[in-house]
Structure 1
C-alpha cells in the first residue's frame, strides 16, 4: 500500500514537472517573440530618429543658431546671439499693428492688413520672413545690421507675393 502511494506521488510529481516544463517552454517562446518584435521596433525607431536628426540638421543649416561664424560675429560685438535672435524677430513682428499694414512689407493688404507671420534669421546679415493678409501671402528677403547701442537697421532686398489660385 505504501509503495503504491509513493508510486502515485512519483507519477503525479513527474506529470506536474512535465506540465511546468512545457508551460515554461511556451512562455519562453512567447517572450522571445515579444523580444524580437520589440527589437525590430527599436531598430525601426532608431532609423526614424536618425532620419529626423538628419532632416533637422538639414533644416537648421541656414539658421543663426547653427552658424558658428555668425554667432561669434555677434559675440565679438558683445551680444548673445540667441537673445539677439529673439530681439530681432520681436522687432519685426511687433510692427504688426491692428488696422495697419506692417511697414516692412512692400505690399498693401488687399483683403486685410499685411502682417508678418514667421521670421528666420539665416546668419548675421540676412533674414527671411513670411507675410499674409489672410488671403494673399508672400515672402521677404531682408538684410539687417546691428549697430552700436543695439540699434538694428532693416532693409527689404527682395519680396514677392504669391498669385492667388
Structure 2
C-alpha cells in the first residue's frame, strides 16, 4: 500500500509539472496571438485613414443629402461608367486583350478617388476627381493615370 501511495504521489507530481509547463506554453501562445491581433488592428486603422467613411470632415459635405452611404453611392456611379460600349471613358488607354474596365474603387474623401482598371491581362490605376451634386449627379474628371507594363 505504501508503494502504491508513493508511486501515485510521484506520478501526480510529474503530471502537475507537465501541466504547469503546458499552461506556460499556452500563455505564451495567447500573448503572441494578442500581439498579432493588436498589430492587425493597427494596420487596419492605418489602411482606413484615407477613406471617406472615416473622414468626418469630408462626410460633412454630404450632410444636406439623404445618403446613408456616400462612398457606396459614388462607387456605384463610377462603376456605371463601365456600362458604355468599349473601354471605360475614364481610362485613357485602348484595351489590348479586351476593353479596359474599372474594377476596384477607393473613395479617399469628398473630392478624390483611386481606381484600378484592367482588360483581364493588363492593368493600371486612375486618380479621379469627382463632384457629387445636390441632385445626386456625379461628375468625374481624370486627374492622372498609369498603365503597368508586363515583363514577360
| Match in the other structure for 2:19 | 31
Provide closer, same or farther for how the CA distance between residues 98 and 24 of structure 1 changes in structure 2, counting only shifts above 3 A: farther
Correspondent of 2:4 among 16, 19, 26:
16
Aligned structure 1 segments of 4 or more residues deviating by more than 6 angstroms: none
2:28 maps to what in 1?
40
1:118 to 2:104 alignment: yes
Q: What is the CA deviation profile of residues 125-146 of structure 1, one whole-angstrom value per residue up to 9, with x for unaligned ones?
A: 1100000112221111111111
> Are 1:108 and 2:73 matched, yes or no?
no
Larger Rg: 1
Residue matched to 2:57 = 69
Deviation of residue 79 (structure 1)?
3.7
Quote how far apart the aligned CAs of 1:78 are.
2.8
Give the aligned partner of residue 136 of structure 1: 122
User: What do you get for the CA RMSD once the two structures are aligned?
Assistant: 1.8
Alpha-carbon distance in 2 for matches of 1:149, 1:105: 26
Higher relative contact order (CA 8 A, sep 6+): 2
Partner residue, 1:149? 135
Match of 1:56 in 2: 44
- 2:82 corresponds, among 96, 115, 133, to 96
Q: How many residues align?
A: 151
For structure 1, list consecutive stretches of 5 or more residues without a partner in the other structure. 1-11
Give the direction of change, closer, same or farther, for the CA distance of 1:80–1:35 in structure 2 (3 Å limit).
Answer: farther
**How far apart are the structure 2 equivalents of 1:18 and 1:72?**
76
- Using the TM superposition, name which of 87-96 and 36-45 deviates more: 87-96
Query: What's the TM-score once normalised by structure 2's chain length?
Result: 0.89
